[in-house]
Amino acid sequence: MTIDEMKHEIGKDVQQNKVVLFMKGTKEFPQCGFSGRVVQILNEHGVDYVTRNVLTDPILRDAIKQYSDWPTLPQLYIKGEFVGGCDIVTEMAQKNELAPLLK
């Protein structure tokens, strides 16, 4: 699959799922601290979400960064919109700005 084809698939994924986290590892086994932190925050909010493990597919890992124009992982999407990475999600959770988006 090409980068452009993968970006198209990412677009479908974020539109079809209310909450999608592109991360290193899975929600059951995060493989970096930043991904683990976002998983912890989402779990604390009791929200249903899907994860996509960028470590299993180098094309996905490159494509998600181009799709969002954001250089780092994890990347959280809610209702088709890019929210941000670990620092932004953590700050939003601390300011009680994340919960309304997840409802």
Q: With bands split at pLDDT 50, 70 and 90, how would you rate the model's confidence at 79? A: very high
Alpha-carbon Rg for the chain in angstroms? 13
Return the domain boundaries, the chain: 3-102
Give the fold, CATH level 3, of 3-102: Glutaredoxin (3.40.30)
- Over residues 62-76, the pLDDT tens digits come to 999 999 999 999 999
Cα separation, 91 vs 65, whole angstroms: 21
Indicate yes or no: pTM above 0.85.
Answer: yes
Angle at 101 (CA atoms; ends 78, 51), nearest 5 degrees: 30
Instruction: List phi, psi (to 5°) of 68.
Output: -90, -15
Distances (CA, A) of 54 to 31, 68, 91, 95, 96: 10, 14, 24, 29, 28
Specify whether the backbone of 44 is left (phi greater than 0), alpha (psi in -120 to 50) or beta: alpha
